[in-house]
Structure 1
Amino acid sequence: MARNRKVPIINSDSSQFPADRPAPTAHVPVLVVMGVSGSGKTTFAELIAKRLGWDLQEGDQLHPEANVAKMEGGTPLSDDDRWPWLARVAEWIDEHGAAGRPAVITCSALKRAYRDRLARPEVVFVHLAGPRELIAERLGQRTGHFMPSSLLDSQLETLEPLHPDERGILVDVHGSPRDAVEATIARLGLG
């Protein structure tokens, strides 16, 4: 089991990430699975956490009740709404980093400022991305989630892709979630 394995750092300056480019980090990794609603964050995070035997946290469960009510009502969150939530996500990351426990957490992390709030030496962002049509189709099939599909466009407008100086990878969600997980494990050298 790869519980204490160190993860290489991969910057996101292109859509291709050569195997010879990563540099090792001295920290046990925490993967922040990011992307817009409907990109498959929960499914991906559950699969990769189970495959690696790592701790898992669904970031949406850390939202204050007021945020959930706002989204259920079809109102996009503001930055002011998101800061307390991001503080709770960061606290969870810090607890795992301090304990030296590798982990996976979902968090939309749509803006660079949000990712800057979560960035730590152990954090690697895993950005799940795909075309609007595919994500909208997935949202339309989803049930039991407080985020309505009507907020997809506002999330896409808010989304700032990973910058070249951010530690992370871009994962195409066209294929199966299991294929995406296995490709991510291979790209990050976790297998």
Structure 2
Amino acid sequence: MASHFTMRIMLAACLLLPAALLAQSPAPAPAPTLKAGVFEPPREAPDFTLPGTTGADVSMRDWRGKVVVLGFGFTHCPEVCPITLGTLAAARRQLGAQADEVQVLWITVDPERDDAARLGAYVTAFDKSFVGATGSEEQLAAVRRDYGIAAAKVQREGQSDSYSHSAFTYLIDREGRLRALMPYGHPPEDFVHDLRILLAVP
């Protein structure tokens, strides 16, 4: 029969073994981080209903189950808007088959000139899947207020009116929650990186 001393040694070894095994197990991989600025905690994206370039009204809830990239701009924009839309079109191409799970929505800040037909022709020139939304100045001002978007008309002598406006884009997850804000100037690869992370969440 083992002595009491030997039994105590065996018991101590049994207690230490699980801890040793846990210490040898690889640590869980850190959760991937977004390149865009994140909302912690995520919050529900404000909903709206606006005349869309699809020929019908559009709302945020129309795309539940997809990841939405939401941007604001106007068709007469000389530089920022076409660069952003071109970047999003390139990102969508890089996503491959996953692109069908992403919806780009572009809301005008210039309702005087951007009716649904003009806006639709503009955004689909970058990618056929892109959808635009317009409306009255009052409707659009309410949406901008809800999303914290600044926009102001800029008049220059001898030139057509322009707008100074917020140039970031929102990333909204499948459940309609604001997850991130991507500043202007990021390359397509950064959008692809973040979109793949959001697409991986059921």
TM-score normalized with structure 2 length: 0.33
If each structure's helix is expressed as a fraction of its own residues, which one has the higher value?
A: 1
Relative contact order (C-alpha < 8 Å, sep 6+): which is higher?
A: 1
TM-score normalized with structure 1 length: 0.35
If each structure's strand is expressed as a fraction of its own residues, which one has the higher value?
A: 2
